[in-house]
Structure 1
């Protein structure tokens, strides 16, 4: 059973309520149709203009009759809309948010969907086919918030490489490839901790986490190396239970023959299943190189560090991408 099949199996078993704030978007509705046909959710909420949603659903040959699909118009005044606005004021009053502003903000589909998940009216949320990553993250940060003891939310990819000797039977976590452009040592440490938890949740194995650099154990001297070294120290201080090591080069992290030469005493080198890149540029380039050159499956980005399951989509996502991302979020919920 590959990664996607396992996530679909777990989603089907858990039967959770999915919120799709871009309910009017054609690929999203096509994905919703497949999710229903495969029995991967107990309910799906589509947010947007009902007439627009119904028109697109008709084109997709999707029936919205019955209890499975719920269509919500965020512009319609209701008890829920007022409850959500009041909660938004409570969350943002330190920033000067007024109830009048909150009522307007709750008419935005991403905010409404995020508030549904925050207050337990939905279990997880997937968006991004029609909004930027920044838009999705903003709603997540301001409304869903990060998990306890987490200051910075980040992202990860699950990579499925043909060489099954690598990672966990060919599966690896890559982080952060989509969220924090230039993390400092504290942020990099939180990315590593969150990615380790993602490894447990997604791959169902214990994380073996390598903090990557162009240096292995001081083979090079540079402020960028110092940042990774400090991040490793912070992780080991905050979470001594995690198997994290670095700084190390990629070949030392993955190849046992190289690990024996460069880091012979490391419990991570040569065995890593979770790779932490020093910045967004290297992470984004790295996952795409592996995807293209190794013909690897690249699933994500999945948000990590949030209090509830939320995920962002590429605006170029295919219907299959959306289905797979929704399945993963439903499984995590």
Structure 2
């Protein structure tokens, strides 16, 4: 049994690949390396260097490696940038998913775990987001993730009575942090953890945008989950689909609690040993005070659980950042 991880050379994808290997499941990576790192692909794991937009190459790779399912992580993931580059975002995330589903149908690959996003909710009007919370994406990125979910559902309905019905589920999550291995790190220029760690390494002061929100310490509260916990749950979902278990179309992978930006800054100072007081700036337009999701459904069906606290999230990210700095 071989699974393909699209975007498997990226930060999250490489952890998913490692999680599959830890479970003894064969895996192949498909990545165009536009944001991934070839060194993140373990020795012995085939790397197909191509875009998911190249349907023929993807089809050939699925057939060549006898792929039974796909974890689909490839895509353009920057919500803010997507506002400036909507056509690129739609091409990569919507057209790319259409291409992948077509390749899967042609190759006879029946299962897919889709990396969705909590961006599909926009700014929810509830303190705790569930799968029943209304979707109202506020960026092209969030829109394309929701459309990706629709594509899977439509393809499944269209093939339900055929010889090879599509089995699928989508995992929605917020902020993924930490590291499961010291040689795998988050290199995103937009995510909070690498931005703060880069600033500290370079002698700059990290910045907090707004401390006058209606939260316990005045800063925004967000949902943070450890990348290793996330990766393990992708594998659990893949196994469930391979075993023919019925899964819900979407699951939130959330903490049910949340962490404030100021709490993260304090943890960064404690773990790194770099004493600093963050610079306080004005609110950014569109930043809600709190976005936290319930992971209850995923805990029930996918054994989703948080095994890392905030200190562990920061410590593992910091160690990986130090290893990358020495490399």
Length-normalised TM-score, structure 1: 0.31
Larger radius of gyration: 1
Bigger fraction of residues in helix: 1
